[in-house]
């Protein structure tokens, strides 16, 4: 049976980590009533679509992202899916009719230039956003200092640009989702009663060449990571629950205790994840990531009375988490 899923490829998406994330939800999460679910960094939405299908007790969801074109795409899928499907089918037919790689590259660059010019309506902007995502190198999203999308052409034989089933199913789920764009702290005003926050922020770089700066004009540096931690404190003090994913600095440098220090008052677990987007194949492979949460009892360990800090046995994990020279989200 077909299920709702991310409508784009997204570096750092959580599709292959879903089971590990689900296991770290608060104990009894599925039995709670009228839950509000908030994702301040929604990205590709793998966790969002999973949660909305797996937990019918989520009666209200709020998503946010700093990328306005991504958010326009979410709103377009929610509000005008038929128009978007028709537009995507047109651009897919045109692209697939091109016989040579040079013709396709030229077409790609023309679409990229028009996308960067902006002044497009929501359907046109979303069509080009999805087209570029499906045909660019590795499905990356990267912009320069001026905010212009600059990912090069990807050599795909027959990419699927229009996926009507996914768009329609995503649209149905998004009917009960409030969609915001802006700073993550603005989501606090939407929290009420039984609210659960899931944070998948831009990951802290594990090397000097791994940086979030390419995802948006605004850098998500250590100051921003600390501001996010202080926001988590605010959530905790208000009585809401949260879970947060990020890179494991200690996995790369045993002396880098950045996250262990700033989140020292919370439970920190380490899980295995795959890093496979890298210009250097030797730097791809399995690394640990951290999961931080402000509760002790989880679905997997309902009777745990202390945080579990060692990685569990390796699972199949995310195949599209960037590591070098690309954004991390």
pLDDT tens-digit profile of 187-198? 999 999 999 999
**Is pLDDT of 329 > 50?**
no
Q: What mean pLDDT is predicted for residues 155-177?
A: 96
Contact assessment for residue 328 and residue 247, using Cβ atoms and an 8 Å cutoff: yes
pLDDT, greater one: 36 or 281 = 36
pLDDT at 39: 98
Contact assessment for residue 25 and residue 32, using Cβ atoms and an 8 Å cutoff: no
pLDDT tens-digit profile of 43-77? 999 999 999 999 999 999 999 999 999 999 999 99
pLDDT tens-digit profile of 297-327? 999 999 865 545 454 444 333 333 332 233 4
Task: Let me know if the fold of 15-66+182-322 is the same as that of 80-164.
Answer: no
**Is pLDDT of 287 > 90?**
no
**CATH 3.10.580.10, applies to 15-66+182-322:** no
End-to-end Cα, the chain, rounded Å: 29
Q: Which two tokens stand for residue 169?
A: 């199913």
Residue 207 — pLDDT band, cuts 50, 70, 90?
low
Look up the CATH number of domain 80-164: 1.10.1020.10
pLDDT at 14: 79
Contact assessment for residue 161 and residue 139, using Cβ atoms and an 8 Å cutoff: no
Q: Which two tokens stand for residue 299?
A: 């679905």
Domain extents in the chain = 15-66+182-322, 80-164
Q: What is the DSSP letter of 128?
A: H
- Gyration radius from the chain CA atoms: 20
> Mapping DSSP to helix (H, G, I), strand (E, B) and coil, where does residue 39 land?
strand
Give the predicted TM-score (pTM) of the model.
0.86
Mean pLDDT of the chain: 87
């Amino acid at each position: 049976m077909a299920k709702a899923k991310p409508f784009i490829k997204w570096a750092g998406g959580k599709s292959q980590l879903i089971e590990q994330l689900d296991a770290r939800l608060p104990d009894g999460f599925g039995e709670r009533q009228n839950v509000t679910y908030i994702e301040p960094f929604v990205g590709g939405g793998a966790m969002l679509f999973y949660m909305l299908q797996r937990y019918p007790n989520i009666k209200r969801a709020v998503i946010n992202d700093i990328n306005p074109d991504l958010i326009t795409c979410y709103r377009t899928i929610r509000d005008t899916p038929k128009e978007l499907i028709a537009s995507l089918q047109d651009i897919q037919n045109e692209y697939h009719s091109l016989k040579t790689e040079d013709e396709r590259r030229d077409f790609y660059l023309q679409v990229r230039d028009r996308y960067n010019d902006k002044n497009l309506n929501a359907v046109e902007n979303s069509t080009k956003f999805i087209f570029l995502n499906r045909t660019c190198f590795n499905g990356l999203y990267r912009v320069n200092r001026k905010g212009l999308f600059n990912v090069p052409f990807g050599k795909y034989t027959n990419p699927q640009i229009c996926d009507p089933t996914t768009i329609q199913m995503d649209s149905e789920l998004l009917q009960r989702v409030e969609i915001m764009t802006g700073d993550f702290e603005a989501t606090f005003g939407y929290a009420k009663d039984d609210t659960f926050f899931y944070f998948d922020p831009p990951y802290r770089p594990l090397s000097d060449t791994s940086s979030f700066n390419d995802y948006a004009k605004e850098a998500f540096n250590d100051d921003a990571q600390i501001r996010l931690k202080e926001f988590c404190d605010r959530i905790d003090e208000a009585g809401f629950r949260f879970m947060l994913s990020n890179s494991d600095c200690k996995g790369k440098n045993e002396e880098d205790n950045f996250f262990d220090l700033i989140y020292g008052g919370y439970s920190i677990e380490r899980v295995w994840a795959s890093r496979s987007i890298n210009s250097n194949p030797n730097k791809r492979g399995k690394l640990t990531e951290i999961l931080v949460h402000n509760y002790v009892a989880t679905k997997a360990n309902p009777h745990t009375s202390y945080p579990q800090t060692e990685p569990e046995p390796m699972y199949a994990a995310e195949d599209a988490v960037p590591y070098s020279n690309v954004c991390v989200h």
